[in-house]
Amino acid sequence: MRFLLAVGLLCASTTLGQTVRFRTTQGDIDITLLPQSAPRTVANFLSYVNKGAYNGTFFHRLVKGFVAQGGGFRWQNTGWVAIPEDAPIVNEYNVTNTRGTIAMAKLGSGPNTATSQWFFNLANNTTTLGPTNNGGFTVFGRINSTAGLDVLSKIEAAQIVDRGDAFAELPVVDYTSGDIGERNLIRVIEVAVLQMPTIATRGVVTASNFGGFTQAAPGSYIEIYGSNLGPETARQWEGKDFNGANAPTTLDNVRVLVNGTPAYVSYVSSGQINAQIPAGIPTGGPAQIVVSNDGITSAPVQVSIQSVVPGLLAPAAFKVGETQFVVAVKQNGALVSNGTIPNLPEAWAAPGEVLTLYGTGFGALTPDSGMQSGQIAQGQTRLAATVEFKIGGQVAEVLYAGLAPGLVGVYQFNLKVPAGLSGNQDFSVSVNGEAPRQALTLSVR
């Protein structure tokens, strides 16, 4: 019990804050702020960030194996100028200066002299920059990725030249001799707060055109709704995003993880992501869904995963009043309609005619099918589950039940309309004897 209490207290003392990206000429460094440990320091730093004070600045001091410092100067015209400083802040030393942390620089005249300048720790400076040195140097964030640490190492590898005063240990690149220009500096192009992607409450459903269920199955398409999920400009996957027959797991720096396994991302926007759940996700319980947008991850949400969650293509455009028509394709390519579906000509299904329908969430294929999630279907495959279609209460003969060739994760069903039917007929599908999830209609004459 005491161990658990100690762990709880330890976790409670490390509450994390916003993520801030340093976009430098050597690469991006993302840091996670520590507002609980240094609230005034974080507020001071964000004040400079929010008014763009750090944009266009440069690293002006590098001591290898110690610190890389910036936040004080920007290049203007043919020389450097100091950025405007706000009033000094109170020192808040609480977290030790280990490699990859960022702390406030200050004057030697007193502990409460920090203004705009900061430094990244290049090594474990716990003792050197601890409380016996001017009250300790306030850590207010830490690099949160290996990629960011790699960029820090790249900065540390820069050449150092002496230009006196604040620039006695100036890091430079592509420099041999003579005057130093902007091109030789390690510049901070922009420092900005990254918005965390947020999945809305009840914001994950299966593809709405196929039923929009709150449960999903391996191979199902899901729609994720929320904010800051992806780019402002919406985009759907294209041929160039595929690696041969394999669908992309990243689209415009957006990823979806299901229990830590990458899903196949087909559509991204700020408010919505469409993705296919990968195969192999355990069924019969919840799975965690996480969105990563430009390296920033959302809080996880849980979705119930079942072995099958079947849904047929039946979009809102095919709903007339309270009647939801299923999308059925005749052999001549026409869509079945009784003439009431907007923008569709009348084209009734006929008894004995073979129709093609499409669905998602119908579960695994037989082992000999050789297909997996996230692949463009090739040739004919076979559904492992037992599927039954009823039209007007009569069982329809199923001629094909497998993936739709040329598509990713979409099932195709070819079935024959039973004889003796006329008019709008109840249409349903059940898998492995389970009750149908959709109440659909098909027009037969």
Render pLDDT for 139-197 as a digit per residue (tens, 0 to 9). Answer: 999 999 999 999 999 999 999 999 999 999 999 999 999 999 999 999 999 999 998 89
Q: Do domains 198-305 and 311-444 have the same CATH topology?
A: yes
How is domain 311-444 classified at the architecture level of CATH? Sandwich (2.60)
Confidence of residue 295 (pLDDT cuts 50, 70, 90): confident
Give the chain's mean pLDDT: 93
Question: 303, 281 in Cβ contact below 8 A?
Answer: no
Helix, strand counts (H, E) of the chain? 3, 33
pLDDT digits (tens, 9 = 90+) for 225-246: 999 999 999 999 999 999 999 9
* Tokens standing for residue 360: 């998602």
- Of the candidates 125, 152, 150, the one whose C-alpha atom is nearest the C-alpha of residue 139 is 125
- Sort 287 into a burial class: Cβ within 10 Å, 0-12 / 13-18 / 19+: buried
Question: What 3-state class would DSSP assign to 31?
Answer: strand
CA 410, distance to chain mean position in Å, is 23
Is the pLDDT assigned to residue 34 strictly greater than 80?
yes
Structure confidence at residue 371 as a pLDDT band (50, 70, 90): low
Cβ count within 10 A of residue 82: 13
- The two three-digit tokens of residue 307, written as one number: 């072995």
d(CA 372, CA 407): 12
Tokens matching residue 292: 């990563």
pLDDT band at 78 (very low <50, low <70, confident <90, very high): confident
How do residues 126-151 score in pLDDT, each as one tens digit? 999 999 999 999 999 999 999 999 99
- Alpha carbon distance 220, 288 (integer Å): 15
| pLDDT at site 79 | 87
Question: What SS3 state is found at 438?
Answer: coil
> What is the per-residue burial (b if ≥16 Cβ within 10 Å, else e) of 389-427?
bbbbeeebebebbbbbeeebbbbbbbbbbbeebeebbeb
Which top CATH class is 198-305? mainly beta
CATH number of 12-194: 2.40.100.10
Q: Break the chain into its structural domains and give their ranges.
A: 12-194, 198-305, 311-444
CB proximity list for 256: less than 8 A, separation 6 or greater: 224, 262, 263, 265, 273, 275, 289, 290, 291, 292
197-223 as b/e, with b when 16 or more CB fall inside 10 Å? bebeeebbbbbebbbebebbbbbbbbb
H helices present in 37-182, as ranges: 39-50, 146-156
